[in-house]
Structure 1
Amino acid sequence: MSRRTTQLAAGLLLIPALLTTSAVYAHQAGDTIVRVGVAVVDPQENSDDVIIGGANTELEVGVDSDVQLGITGTYMLTDKYGIGILAATPFNHDINLNGVGKLADIKHLPPTLTLQYFPMAAGAALQPYLGAGLNYTTFFSEDFTSANKAAGFSDLSLSDSWGLALEAGVDYQLTDKVLLNASVWHVDIDTEATFKVGGAPAKVDVEIDPWVYMLALGYKF
């Protein structure tokens, strides 16, 4: 047998092994993927005017961005479809009264559930995906700054929100278990803030509608 024939035969014998190696990178039905990393919430807020005692102040509010630990999970229903969840440690935001300055601090949690679609072939190491689903955002620890409390601001409360969520992301398998992930969400979050100023009732409606960005390291079970 010639050297060339021997090399060709050896190459053919390697094909099943290569296919097996590729297959272990697949996202397959029954897999659970957990990703942990840095998540950024970047509000794209649109505020109505603040109303105090029925009078329009013509002032609006703004919401700062924040960075926290993000956690996502995917359970693969089939080789192509999965259920995804977004969670995080509580995000802390400054609420600003535009043209005046910082008004208050708030915290929120935005758990989000999506149906994800993975279009690539099952054995591909690079697995982009798209998702759509529902977000629930709960606000808590709403607190005016000390200066605003002294000025008569009190009883701040933000209503919880239900809204649609869209996502896009990509997993890159480093091994059959470990992967890198980059993902982005756009979330519909609307809230009404109610409070008092000198005893007079006040409110403002805000569409927060943030972009959420995340870079993470993942593990597949």
Structure 2
Amino acid sequence: MKKSVVPFAMLAALLAVPGQAMAQSGEVHFKILGTLVAPDGKIRDVKLDRIGLPAGSQTKANDNFVPTVAIEYFLADSISVETIAGVTQHDVDGRGALAGAGLVSNAKIVPATVTLKYHFGKAGGIRPYVGVGPSYFIFINEKPGATTRTLGATSQKINDTVGAALQAGVDVPINDKGMFVSVDAKRYFMRPLASWRANGVEVLRTRHELDPWVISAGLGFRF
């Protein structure tokens, strides 16, 4: 996902454009977004291996496109707090010596995130922003992939994980009634543990660099 760095470069350039602020203290923004979730998922460390992973084993989580919503509250004209809501689903497949192997199936993730944002610009114009904050990824209903099932794995679990998110984006007003277009890019830093069991006995435990890019665009409304 190196190409996803491009939106950050574009947003950095926008910081130099004189703009006007769109918000006041106490204002609320509501955003409806389409979101690309593009995780890494590679193995960072093998904690337990009773099945004998071949040398060069690696993994990758697939991308997904989902609807999300964001709610933002302005503490001051240029400072806000934002949270997002959505659920994304991913498989984890093998790479390298594990190429073609299905390892995790249908892992659903709730990426609970709160960011503190600083907005540039002044009233009525384009508002670039940057943000940072904590995140808590909740994993739901994940299952062993096809390959791990054939090897005897009867259950699979990825632990809920605390991480951090960096954020940059821009809000562009499109009328004088509080509607605007929003483009947002986040990079998360997460290190979850994945565990596979065969009839209750743990046979494999690995730590992964999940580290997704989350790129969103859509409409916002201010109240």
- In 2: Cα distance, 1:133 partner to 1:181 partner: 19
**Superposition pairs of residues 157-176 of structure 1, within 5 angstroms:** 157-175=157-175, 176=177
- What is aligned with 1:205? 207
Shift in CA distance, 200/110, structure 1 to aligned 2, threshold 3 Å: closer
Please identify the structure whose Cα radius of gyration is greater: 1
- In 2: Cα distance, 1:136 partner to 1:57 partner: 32
- In 2: Cα distance, 1:46 partner to 1:54 partner: 19
> How high is the sequence identity, in percent, across the aligned residues?
22
Letter in 2 for 1:77: L
- SS of 1:110's partner is strand
- In 2: Cα distance, 1:100 partner to 1:80 partner: 48
Give TM-score, length-normalised by structure 2.
0.81
**Superposition pairs of residues 1-221 of structure 1, within 5 angstroms:** 26-48=22-44, 50=46, 51-53=48-50, 55=52, 57-58=54-55, 59-88=57-86, 90-98=87-95, 99-105=99-105, 106-121=107-122, 123-146=123-146, 148-175=148-175, 176-197=177-198, 199=201, 201-221=203-223
- In 1: Cα distance, 2:145 partner to 2:116 partner: 40
**RMSD between superposed Cα atoms in Å:** 2.2
> Displacement, 1:205?
0.6
**Structure 1 stretches lacking a partner, 5+ long:** 1-21
Give TM-score, length-normalised by structure 1.
0.81
- What is aligned with 1:17? none
> Displacement, 1:82?
0.5
- In 2: Cα distance, 1:109 partner to 1:201 partner: 26
- Could you tell which deviates more after superposition, 192-201 or 78-87? 192-201
- SS of 2:40's partner is coil
**Structure 2 stretches lacking a partner, 5+ long:** 1-18
